[in-house]
């Protein structure tokens, strides 16, 4: 612990992941806290941070940097969205200072993009992973790149010359959860049936008419004799296949551009299968490592500012 | 009651609607029963019919005809699906006899269609409304017609020369319910905001990338300053607009063919707005009257058989 130089936090809706980093950005220690901002009362974030997070690392004296929903009105303080296009420099200039036992502490703003139908799209947390990914892969700071961050609210991000130019959110993970828990497609079975997943990918078509394609998850059991236990895997394939086939076009892309998958390894592997089926080149990057790299890079730039 | 000649029932998942009809098919009496097959124990349908439905009309001596989920494995007895293409004659020949206080009683089979991705699509109940609609509109028994039955599981039906040639199911109503009750789009507000409904229709695009377009329902509130209470109306417009823009193409249609809307008046009016926005000609027909006409026509043909 002696060489910890920074307390870095990805503080989201459902939990808080924190790391101490040394002066070179290497992880010294890591802990998770059941402190998602959705579980906090108004004004509670600062107090819980000082009372639980800093002491857990004996990190009261360390500078701290935090990203995610902690910068929303549910969190510590509102860090106003930075507008696309923006890169590491713009985000670093937009860090919001908070008080934490009197030490340097900053909250990373979320980002806002021109969205579909005239309403802005927003993110909080994924921008930090993206900036970390760019810091880890300087070759991606030139030209145009497509990055997908799978999740409850998946983000498809268009990067141009090292800055996030535009993004769109797809609530694929949430659709999977609500349909699997509350609809006629409800099931307690695990989504671990490879064959049914591939069948779902094939049933996604080009990502149109989802409400009708979803009913095939029912019809294949009721009318086609497939096992009801395979429904979650089929549903997962259908939803992810629909997303990968259609969402890139909303960013003005052809859908054939290579995709960098950035996030949870298990989810990225499912998206990789969907992209492979569509003949789309892809590469997978670890989201947690990118978050750490992004927080460290923002800290360095923010301190210099 | 003296002139009642038939007890006709549309016995679905959530409730049972019953009518006594005279010898010309005119409604004598109508009652609803909270006896949806989803609430029945196995083997209970026959007993409840004899103990509650027949006595409510003093109809023990009348012939009876029943359509809907009563013909499924949750209902009275399984009436095997009739395969597309089929019309009134084929359905009448496939009626399944049951015992009800010793009088003539028949269950209308559901129908099965070649579906998407190699799995059959199925319906129980809508086929009877469709046959009644054809009986009421003999001019539609020639040529090709597109009929849409909105609902929890909406049916898009392709009619060719008086027979149901093919259909596809869209679980639009169920998506509306699970998203409105269990997702980040959850709301208790009524879906009565005309402006937000129209905004949702416009946001549906051509019915692709639904998981991303759904997120605009969130973004317009969080990022666009729209009232959260308008979310159900916006969601309704988005889902119905997505369905009307994309599902007809799954039946090999261009999407520009006129559509007959058959069903609940309130729902049909929403679909009519969506079709009008897409420049598609449409006409609305009462689903309950069509169900009665279909049951009566099937009774007449079934008795003659």
Q: Does B223 touch chain A (CB under 8 A)?
A: yes
Least Cα separation, residue B257 to chain A (angstroms): 17
For CA atoms B197, B198, B201, B205, give the dihedral sign: negative
Beta-bridge partners for B291? none
What CA–CA distances, in Å, run from B65 to A201, B70, B171? 42, 11, 28
Please choose, from the candidates A228, A114, A226, A123, the residue with its C-alpha nearest in 3D space to the C-alpha of residue A171. A123
Q: Does B181 touch chain A (CB under 8 A)?
A: yes
Question: Chains A and B: how many Cβ contacts under 8 Å?
Answer: 176
What is the per-residue pLDDT across B234-280, written as a single tens digit (0 to 9) for each?
999 999 999 999 999 999 999 999 999 999 999 999 999 999 999 99
Chain centroid offset of residue B182 CA: 24
B6-138+293-304: CATH topology is: Nucleotidyltransferase; domain 5 (3.30.420)
Return the SS3 of A153: coil
Give mean pLDDT, residues B52-75. Answer: 94
Cα pseudo-dihedral B99, B101, B102, B103, rounded to 10 = -90
Q: What residue spans define the domains of chain B?
A: 6-138+293-304, 169-286
Q: Check whether B148 has a pLDDT greater than 60.
A: yes
What is the per-residue pLDDT across A71-97, written as a single tens digit (0 to 9) for each?
999 999 999 999 999 999 999 999 999
Q: Check whether B59 has a pLDDT greater than 90.
A: no
Please choose, from the candidates B68, B65, B61, the residue with its C-alpha nearest in 3D space to the C-alpha of residue B37. B68
What is the model's pLDDT at position A305? 66
Q: How many CA atoms are closer than 13 Å to the CA of A62, on its beta-carbon side?
A: 29
Q: How far, in Å, CA of A59 to CA of B235, rounded?
A: 46
A117/B216 Cβ within 8 A: yes
Return the SS3 of A256: coil
Of B115, B206, B209, which is closest to A216 when you measure between CB atoms? B115
Q: Does B209 touch chain A (CB under 8 A)?
A: yes
Find all residues with CB under 8 Å of B133, minimum gap 6, and list them: B140, B147, B260, B262, B285, B290, B293, B294
What is the model's pLDDT at position B118? 85
What is the per-residue pLDDT across B190-243, written as a single tens digit (0 to 9) for each?
999 999 999 999 999 999 999 999 999 999 998 889 999 999 999 999 999 999
B203/A116 Cβ within 8 A: yes
DSSP run (H or E) holding A45:
helix A44-48
What rounded mean pLDDT belongs to chain B?
95
> Token pair for residue A2?
């002696």
What is the per-residue pLDDT across B96-139, written as a single tens digit (0 to 9) for each?
999 888 889 999 999 999 988 888 999 999 999 999 999 999 99
Residues of chain B neighbouring A174 (CB-CB closer than 8 A):
183-184
Q: How far, in Å, CA of A201 to CA of B79, rounded?
A: 33
What is the model's pLDDT at position A92? 97
Split at pLDDT 50, 70, 90, the class of A2 is low
Q: Can B6-138+293-304 and B169-286 be said to share one CATH topology?
A: yes
Q: Does B219 touch chain A (CB under 8 A)?
A: yes
What is the per-residue pLDDT across A20-73, written as a single tens digit (0 to 9) for each?
999 999 999 999 999 999 999 988 999 999 999 999 998 888 999 999 999 999
How many CB atoms neighbour CB B80 within 10 A? 11
> Token pair for residue B36?
């949806």
Q: The CATH number of B169-286 is which of 3.10.105.10, 3.40.50.2300, 1.10.490.10, 3.30.420.310?
A: 3.30.420.310
Which letter, b or e, does each residue of A170-207 get, where b requires 16 or more Cβ atoms within 10 Å of its Cβ? bbbbbbbebbbebbbbebeeebebeebbbbbbebbbeb
Tell me whether the omega of the peptide bond preceding residue B85 falls within 30 degrees of 0, making it cis.
yes
Please report the ipTM that was assigned to this predicted complex. Answer: 0.93
Split at pLDDT 50, 70, 90, the class of A119 is confident
How many CB atoms neighbour CB B78 within 10 A? 14
Residues of chain A neighbouring B116 (CB-CB closer than 8 A):
203, 205, 212-213, 216, 219
Contact B280, B256 (CB under 8 A): yes
What is the per-residue pLDDT across A258-300, written as a single tens digit (0 to 9) for each?
999 999 999 999 999 999 999 999 999 999 999 999 999 999 9
- Write the secondary structure of chain B as one string of H (helix), E (strand) and C (coil): CCCCCEEEEEECCCCEEEEEECCCCCEEEEEEECCCHHHCCCCHHHHHHHHHHHHHCCCCCCCEEEECHHHCCCCCCCCCCEECCECHHHHHHCCEECCECCECEEECCCEEECCHHHCCEEECCHHHHHHHHHHHCHHHHCCEEEEEECCCCEEEEEEECCEEEEEEEECHHHHHHHHHHHCCCCCCCCCCCHHHHHHHHHHCCCCECHHHHHHHHHHHHHCCCCCHHHHHHHHHHHHHHHHHHHHHHHCCCCCCCCEEEEECHHHHHHHHHHHHHCCCCEEEEEHHHHHHHHHHHHHHHHHHC
A174/B121 Cβ within 8 A: no
DSSP run (H or E) holding A168:
strand A163-170
Q: How far, in Å, CA of B105 to CA of B94, rounded?
A: 13
What is the model's pLDDT at position A100? 84
For CA atoms B186, B191, B196, B199, give the dihedral sign: positive
What is the per-residue pLDDT across A147-205, written as a single tens digit (0 to 9) for each?
999 999 999 999 999 999 999 999 999 999 999 999 999 999 999 999 999 999 999 99
Give mean pLDDT, residues A225-254. Answer: 97
Select from A81, A209, A225, A227 the residue whose CB has the most chain B CBs within 10 Å, as the one to mutate to test that interface: A209
Q: How far, in Å, CA of B96 to CA of A59, rounded?
A: 76
């Amino acid at each position: 612990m002696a060489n910890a130089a920074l307390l870095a936090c990805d503080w989201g809706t459902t939990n808080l992941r924190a790391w101490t980093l040394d002066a070179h950005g290497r992880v010294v220690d890591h802990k998770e806290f059941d402190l998602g901002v959705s579980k906090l009362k108004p004004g509670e974030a600062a107090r819980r941070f000082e009372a639980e997070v800093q002491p857990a690392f004996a990190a009261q004296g360390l500078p701290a940097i935090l990203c995610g929903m902690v910068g929303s009105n549910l969190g510590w303080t509102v860090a106003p969205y930075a507008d696309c296009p923006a890169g590491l420099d713009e985000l670093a200039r937009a860090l919001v200072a908070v008080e934490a036992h009197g030490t340097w502490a900053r909250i990373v703003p979320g980002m806002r993009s021109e969205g579909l139908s005239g309403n802005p799209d927003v993110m909080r947390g994924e921008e930090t992973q993206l900036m970390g990914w760019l810091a880890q892969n300087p070759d991606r700071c030139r030209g145009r790149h497509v990055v997908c961050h799978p999740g409850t609210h998946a983000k498809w991000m268009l990067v141009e010359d090292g800055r996030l130019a535009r993004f769109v959110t797809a609530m694929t993970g949430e659709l999977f959860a609500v349909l699997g828990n509350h609809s006629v497609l409800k099931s307690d079975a695990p989504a671990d049936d490879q064959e049914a997943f591939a069948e779902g990918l094939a049933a996604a078509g080009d990502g149109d008419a989802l409400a009708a394609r979803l009913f095939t998850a029912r019809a294949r059991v009721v009318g086609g004799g497939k096992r009801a236990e395979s429904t979650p895997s089929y549903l997962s394939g259908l939803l992810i296949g629909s997303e990968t086939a259609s969402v890139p076009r909303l960013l003005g892309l052809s859908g054939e551009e290579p995709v960098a998958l950035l996030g949870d390894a298990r989810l990225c592997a499912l998206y990789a299968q969907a992209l492979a089926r569509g003949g789309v080149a892809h590469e997978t990057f670890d989201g947690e490592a990118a978050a750490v790299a992004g927080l460290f890079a923002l800290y360095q730039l923010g301190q210099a500012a």
